[in-house]
Structure 1
């Protein structure tokens, strides 16, 4: 606005500002002022829109006007190589080798080239900001329609460091990431990160990447990595990896990403727990792998965490056998799709599958196998709890599939909350490939017997992670699968009357509590006392000798009725032949349990106090039910991996002979000082401890007496109690002697009473001090400090909110004059 122009609008009396306008001006004045402000804003917005439309019309009418690019300048680059900028820009302005005039020839093509160059510079991730200008060319050799493209850029910092903590996928970790951007001036990136965690104990990864095409859609990367993982929660071991990797990546996940990689890894399976199974012990040791892999991924979901449309797919293929111990082909696919069926209601479906085919005659290696189970695959199952097992250890598998259906809805009347309700149904199975069968039979076996779980929960969207709190139960679980839920201790059956070897029938739930159809008898093959489940042998679930895995179904203990045998019922009126029917125990009683000290177990007798059908001649009689006879153990033939029998029977330990006479006393265990002195002083050794180093050493029990003895035995508890009371008596006598020495006009009885009072006070102080020490050992001091800090932080936040509080302007407000 120039000096000769008048303002768009002004305030004149009585609309001029006063010292306190909100107190003195009427409401109509404020309404008039607001109306004038809206008019001015509307006029300015209309002028801007008309100017924009005029400029757009001008450009649209001039799109075919002749215009060419004389030069492209990028200003503000101090660390980027000019050759790299030419590498990015030349293919845009000079698509052929004929020079710059072979590029854009009109206004439209020049604008497109400008936008394309700006986009490429921003995607290089080395500039904070990029602004473009079109200037008339200053070179007189070019025609009048030639222009210069000028880009003003501001480069990003070269060094970057970040620390973070992460929690998820059954693991917590802390990590540090260091990055050097634009290392040699060509958008190269060197990155190194290191993390410490619970499952992945230690890991490091270094990589160097650079673009290899001008459109920045293809990158090459080389790197080295190493990590140490703790598998003790499901496999009683740990794994350490060291390797190198080289890859070429093309595209983005939103349009389709391709990755071709080569990897060489040295793996070591160790740190076995004492409870490790034979299979894990056989897999332990060092192995190597040299493989080439291809990965394709596509993701067009509108939200990675709680998407309502779009889908995600990932395909991974790996061939190992270019060297090393591993030789296999692995394929894995992962798919997710989400759809909004109603406002606030979303249905999500996910499916995953994998195949590992080993080319060697021996089974696949443990580090290469799949693991299944847990919150990211089949919920309500223990992490890595599905698939073949050896005792408590999960061995992994070669073939798996999993599927999940989720229904996510908003909280009623709280659709804007990040908290959602969640219902899910998951199914999956993990198996080993039996090469004695064809491939189709392996697939059919895996698909036909899934583990299924269902539940409900809550989802909290906390960018960039998704937190779930679920309550779920396994609906179907095979014997080899480790389900997550167990029966509480108070609900477990204490004395089991159904044991392996018994014959039972199952009470159906659909027929009013009656038995299953055709009175089918089932043999009990195993029991699970942690879940009150009974495993029975069925026609479709026999032990598969080829697969080496039990396929028995399980039922709850309450659904089982013991089979007592077949009995003849007496003739009823109108009957001519006696019926032979199976009899089952409807109610089972037991005798008083007796402890068998030789077998170290409780023993009792079981009897049927009520039968189905009722036996008239034994209506009020307790029918004794014999325990099944145990089958003799059949030992497998010895293999080269088994210890020979003579080595097992060889006596490797002889107890030390203890003589009751003084001549037969065992030599004393030397102290640490004596041992070191005798070890480094030959004179001392030859004189005092000659017998000790000559071979007459104390037995091993004397060295391990602390480890071999029970610290909580009755005698040791009594000894510690006596020592404490002896120390109290000694302390009381000290106080009495101190008071009696100087009576100060008191009688001896008064002095003793004063001493007893001081003694009791001392005991109370010692007790308080002991409680304080225990409180500190349990972390009470750190907890108290955290509470104090949180309280102070809360008070500071409250004070800052009160200090920055601004009252909203409302009618009838009075502002003090001093403010």
Structure 2
């Protein structure tokens, strides 16, 4: 972490006037406050007492599990860092909507000379909350109506019901129960019953999915997050229009999918939307075929690295790749499970799912894909609104490349795989403006130039809008 320094004035400027009046000093004798530079690592302290004010129905044991690491701090820097970490743990419980942190010297007959007293001022959620909001994802905006019953048993348990309707005729219903557990790995259990309806005009089909999801999340390190999931769903796939291709029509009908999935996320970025440094790696593995008539093994990777050249000028590199293969000849892989690329969230300058084989205008997907991006983010020219609204914008220059393929790893040598992915590589470039939406998503308006593409691809030259959580 390096050495942390703090500049501490003898008297703050706002207190100088009142201090002079109290002591009878004249304005002529007032001097600029002296500033001392303090190495916080050299300030040896100990935490004597931790107070958590505002607890009502929340049980003590779940709170104690979150704050116990704070007692191990040995200097003031550790106290600050552990206080922030403790606040994050309390927020993750889902019991409190406001958490304030206050640090003061210890008081009382048993206080040690270098002792500190840390107070967390919390405010619990009401027993039932709800409302209407908007959310962003997959280049689509949605209206979300939800109701939640947080902290129902006093240890962070939560029941929530949500319904969303998207701008692209998608709709989702979800009834979930969430339960956090004690322990340094911060385990959390989530079970949900869901129904999801989605339409994919670029592939000529729509799908109605009803099922059950079981998710166990935990951390194996401070930045290593794991999710183990089991999903069982009945899926009804049907054509979107009468002109849908025969390849889509023959996959229509009901199917049963039962799969297990592991998601590993390692995030070292300083912030998720416009990071200036750090990297993120996300590995996803899914095995379907534990019952039902769908069977496949699918592996995907997403990588992003950021490097700051100068103040607010950042170079970003990104890579995403995936591969799916059938696991049993008696089970099938439908178009809903195959790999697609193209669109404002992946290879810009192409339509959504516009890269790869098309039959009668429908994108059928492939068994594998890769896509890479090189980006340059800079502030707006002349820095309008600096320090305020203008900091939400970035100028964006990019080059994207990628490809899709249909082959089997068992029957293809490594050199042939590289050749297949390389020989039909698509390339696009462009520039635009990116806007930060809260701390969860961003909006991009780019002018795109498809540079290299194949005959069957569907390109999108000119202005292209993209809105989402994770971009290439």
What's the TM-score, normalizing by structure 2? Answer: 0.77
Distance 1:170 1:485 in 2: 18
Aligned twin of 1:250: 218
Helix, strand or coil for the counterpart of 1:366?
Answer: coil
Higher helix fraction (1 or 2): 1
Aligned twin of 2:450: 474
Q: Residue deviations 1:206-264, cap 9 Å, x none?
A: 32222223346222222222211011x21222111112111221239971211111111
What pairs up with 1:500-649 in 2 under 5 angstroms?
Answer: none
Aligned twin of 1:266: 234
Residue 430 (str. 1) matches residue 404 (str. 2): yes
Aligned twin of 2:322: 354
Task: Say whether the 8 Å CA contact 1:218–1:249 is kept in structure 2.
Answer: yes
Q: Residue deviations 1:319-353, cap 9 Å, x none?
A: 11111111111100011112233555432211110
Residue 80 (str. 1) matches residue 58 (str. 2): yes
Match of 2:208 among 219, 224, 240: 240
Helix, strand or coil for the counterpart of 1:479?
Answer: coil
Residue 190 (str. 1) matches residue 159 (str. 2): yes
User: Deviation at 1:383?
Assistant: 0.6
What pairs up with 1:135-284 in 2 under 5 angstroms?
Answer: 153-158=121-126, 159-166=128-135, 169-199=138-168, 201-215=170-184, 217-231=186-200, 233-251=201-219, 255-284=223-252
Helix, strand or coil for the counterpart of 2:22?
Answer: coil
User: Deviation at 1:405?
Assistant: 1.4
Task: Say whether the 8 Å CA contact 1:164–1:175 is kept in structure 2.
Answer: yes
Aligned twin of 1:739: none
Aligned twin of 2:395: 421
TM-aligned CA distance change 1:132 to 1:456, over 3 Å: closer
Distance 1:436 1:78 in 2: 60
Q: Residue deviations 1:720-752, cap 9 Å, x none?
A: xxxxxxxxxxxxxxxxxxxxxxxxxxxxxxxxx
Residue 124 (str. 1) matches residue 90 (str. 2): yes
User: Deviation at 1:450?
Assistant: 1.0
User: Deviation at 1:425?
Assistant: 1.5
Task: Say whether the 8 Å CA contact 2:48–2:117 is kept in structure 1.
Answer: no
Unpaired runs of 5+ in structure 2?
Answer: 1-19, 463-472
Helix, strand or coil for the counterpart of 2:422?
Answer: helix
Distance 1:87 1:112 in 2: 18
TM-aligned CA distance change 1:156 to 1:205, over 3 Å: same
Match of 2:459 among 460, 483, 487: 483
TM-aligned CA distance change 1:399 to 1:453, over 3 Å: same
User: Deviation at 1:364?
Assistant: 2.1
Aligned twin of 2:286: 318
Aligned twin of 2:15: none
Higher strand fraction (1 or 2): 2
TM-aligned CA distance change 1:240 to 1:84, over 3 Å: same
Aligned twin of 1:8: 23
TM-aligned CA distance change 1:85 to 1:401, over 3 Å: closer
Q: Residue deviations 1:17-58, cap 9 Å, x none?
A: xxxxxxxxxxxxxxxx5x66x53x73xx77xx79x99xx99x
Task: Say whether the 8 Å CA contact 2:55–2:124 is kept in structure 1.
Answer: no
Task: Say whether the 8 Å CA contact 1:224–1:245 is kept in structure 2.
Answer: yes
Distance 1:114 1:481 in 2: 54
Aligned twin of 1:452: 427
Distance 1:300 1:315 in 2: 15
User: Deviation at 1:285?
Assistant: 0.8
Helix, strand or coil for the counterpart of 2:170?
Answer: strand
Helix, strand or coil for the counterpart of 2:58?
Answer: coil
User: Deviation at 1:367?
Assistant: 1.3
Let me know the Cα RMSD of the aligned residues: 4.0
Q: Residue deviations 1:765-819, cap 9 Å, x none?
A: xxxxxxxxxxxxxxxxxxxxxxxxxxxxxxxxxxxxxxxxxxxxxxxxxxxxxxx
Distance 1:434 1:378 in 2: 24
Distance 2:245 2:162 in 1: 35
What pairs up with 1:60-79 in 2 under 5 angstroms?
Answer: 60=44, 76-79=54-57
- Please say which of residues 220-229 and 156-165 is displaced more in the overlay: 156-165
Helix, strand or coil for the counterpart of 1:279?
Answer: helix
TM-aligned CA distance change 1:439 to 1:363, over 3 Å: farther
Distance 2:316 2:84 in 1: 38
TM-aligned CA distance change 1:74 to 1:218, over 3 Å: same
Task: Say whether the 8 Å CA contact 1:300–1:310 is kept in structure 2.
Answer: yes
Distance 1:198 1:151 in 2: 45
Match of 1:387 among 356, 380, 384: 356
TM-aligned CA distance change 1:114 to 1:164, over 3 Å: closer
User: Number of aligned pairs?
Assistant: 424
Distance 2:88 2:304 in 1: 31
User: Deviation at 1:444?
Assistant: 2.8
Task: Say whether the 8 Å CA contact 1:388–1:432 is kept in structure 2.
Answer: no
Between 1 and 2, higher relative CO (CA 8 Å, sep ≥ 6) is seen in 2
Unpaired runs of 5+ in structure 1?
Answer: 12-32, 94-102, 139-143, 487-819
User: Deviation at 1:412?
Assistant: 4.1
Helix, strand or coil for the counterpart of 1:367?
Answer: coil
Q: Residue deviations 1:541-587, cap 9 Å, x none?
A: xxxxxxxxxxxxxxxxxxxxxxxxxxxxxxxxxxxxxxxxxxxxxxx
TM-aligned CA distance change 1:306 to 1:282, over 3 Å: same
Aligned twin of 1:554: none
Task: Say whether the 8 Å CA contact 1:434–1:442 is kept in structure 2.
Answer: no
Distance 1:300 1:321 in 2: 34
